[in-house]
């Protein structure tokens, strides 16, 4: 059994005082290694609480740098970290919390090419991501490696937590969600927003589930999905059942190695070709007095934050019903926040018979950064 140093005995005194936890639980934590995929809103409380609790090894996967919009919820980072690689800043902070921690960082995307290699040396996998391809990938890898997969998701005011582990008799994520939703149906946190304290709540629960799995205390959420509605502070626990026909954990699995997860989730490796122009080209057209119709397909609450003068707001979800408000015979330039929704709008307008339709690459965020730095970003 892993020994604890004199400093560790003092550090974890409040754990050691719990009869159901004590020395045995603390030694199990020190001997364990946890992989956290994502060092953002969920990854921040997950890694900070695991570090403080005395986990022995912690792996973090995230390719991003710290941006100002992260600071509303990603408590691993502060103002001084803006522009730094997330994992560089995260490692520094986590070792400040607990110098006994062994931190391994993977500043790369978690992909079908590297997932098995990265996850192999860890005892528990925690999914702190916000996209469906990575959720399915982390699930499948956890099933194949027989590791518990601690799942969490957040959007606006609601969150979910669960533990997927077929080798422990529980279902996997695919049993709950056999097929991903159509692309664009479920907004990301960047598009839909998230209350800053929500990932703190859900991520802390994920850290707690990992501790329970490692130490054997309590009843982990195996075969359960906990749904949290923070506006009413209502907690609902749903029972999940393993699907005997699941293609990954079922009786006769058909998926036994990593697949094209982007394609499985309907995200083409090469996005559908739509005519596009940069924000600089848009500015040149506006400065030259070009006759065009600028269409904003964001939501009203987004326009209240910032807008490009003269743009007409028709949210993407209302496009079909309000297409008659868009003039024919003029050039249509479409923007959203960063270019994703507007690309879908361009494709739909072309299907509706509009010919001269263009997507503004990078959306209003690119306009704010490259054309009008006084404009608010969100």
Whether 265 is a known active-site residue: answer no
Given the residues 172, 246, 265, 336, select the one marked as catalytic.
336
- Cα angle 7-9-11, degrees, rounded to a multiple of 5: 65
Whether 336 is a known active-site residue: answer yes
Asked whether the whole model's pTM tops 0.85, one would answer: no
**Alpha-carbon distance 364 to 378, whole Å?**
10
Which residues, other chains included, contact 66 with Cβ-Cβ below 8 Å and sequence gap of 6+? 74, 77, 81, 82, 83, 84, 85, 86, 89
Domains in the chain, start-ordered, CATH in brackets?
32-264 (3.40.50.720), 276-370 (3.40.250.10)
Q: For residue 74, what are the CA distances in angstroms to 66, 91, 188, 236, 244?
A: 9, 14, 16, 26, 38
Query: What's the confidence (pLDDT) of residue 319?
Result: 95
| Residue located via tokens 């997969």 | 149
> Does the CA dihedral 222-148-208-28 come out positive or negative?
positive
Query: What's the confidence (pLDDT) of residue 171?
Result: 98
242 and 171 Cβ atoms separated by less than 8 Å: yes
Maximum Cα–Cα distance across the chain: 78
Given the residues 172, 175, 189, 246, select the one marked as catalytic.
189
- pLDDT values of the chain reduced to their tens digit, one per residue, 378 residues: 679 999 999 999 999 999 999 999 999 999 999 999 999 999 999 999 999 999 999 999 999 999 999 999 999 999 999 999 999 999 999 999 999 999 999 999 999 999 999 999 999 999 999 899 999 999 999 999 999 999 999 999 999 999 999 999 999 999 999 999 887 677 777 778 899 999 999 999 999 999 999 999 999 999 999 999 999 999 999 999 999 999 999 999 999 999 999 999 987 544 457 899 999 999 999 999 999 999 999 999 999 999 999 999 999 999 999 999 999 999 999 999 999 899 999 999 999 999 999 999 999 999 999 999 999 988
Q: What is the total residue count of the chain?
A: 378
Q: What are phi and psi of 45, to 5 degrees?
A: -65, -35
**Alpha-carbon distance 5 to 100, whole Å?**
10
Helix pair 22-31, 198-215: axis angle to 10 deg? 100
């Amino acid at each position: 059994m892993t020994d604890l140093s004199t400093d560790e005995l003092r550090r974890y005194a409040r754990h050691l005082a719990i009869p159901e936890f004590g020395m045995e639980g603390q030694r199990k934590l020190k001997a364990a290694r946890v992989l956290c995929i994502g060092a953002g809103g969920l990854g921040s409380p997950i890694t900070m609480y695991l570090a403080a609790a005395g986990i022995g090894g912690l792996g973090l996967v995230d390719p991003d740098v710290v941006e100002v919009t992260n600071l509303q919820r990603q408590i691993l980072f502060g103002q001084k970290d803006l522009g730094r690689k997330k994992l560089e800043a995260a490692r520094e902070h986590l070792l400040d919390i607990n110098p006994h921690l062994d931190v391994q960082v993977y500043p790369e995307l978690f992909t079908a090419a590297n997932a098995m290699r990265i996850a192999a040396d860890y005892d528990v996998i925690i999914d702190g991501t916000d996209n469906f391809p990575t959720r399915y990938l982390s699930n499948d890898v956890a099933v194949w490696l027989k590791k518990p997969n601690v799942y969490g998701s957040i959007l606006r005011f609601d969150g979910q937590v669960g533990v997927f582990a077929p080798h422990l008799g529980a279902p996997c994520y695919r049993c709950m969600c056999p097929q991903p939703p159509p692309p664009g149906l479920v907004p990301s946190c960047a598009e839909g927003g998230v209350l800053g304290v929500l990932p703190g709540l859900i991520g802390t629960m994920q850290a707690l589930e990992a501790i329970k799995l490692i130490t054997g205390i309590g009843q982990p959420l195996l075969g359960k999905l906990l749904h949290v509605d923070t506006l009413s502070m209502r907690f609902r626990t749903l029972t999940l059942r393993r699907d005997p026909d699941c293609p990954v954990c079922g009786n006769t699995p058909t998926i036994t190695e990593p697949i094209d997860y982007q394609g499985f989730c309907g995200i083409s490796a090469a996005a559908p070709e739509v005519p596009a122009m940069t924000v600089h080209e848009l500015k040149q057209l506006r400065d030259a007095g070009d006759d065009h119709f600028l269409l904003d397909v964001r939501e009203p609450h987004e326009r209240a934050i910032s807008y490009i003068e003269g743009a007409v707001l028709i949210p993407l979800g209302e496009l079909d019903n309000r297409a008659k408000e868009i003039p024919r015979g003029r050039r249509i330039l479409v923007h959203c926040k960063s270019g994703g929704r507007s690309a879908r709008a361009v494709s739909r307008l072309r299907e509706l018979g509009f010919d001269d339709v263009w997507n503004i690459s990078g959306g209003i965020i690119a306009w704010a950064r490259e054309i009008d730095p006084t404009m608010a970003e969100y």
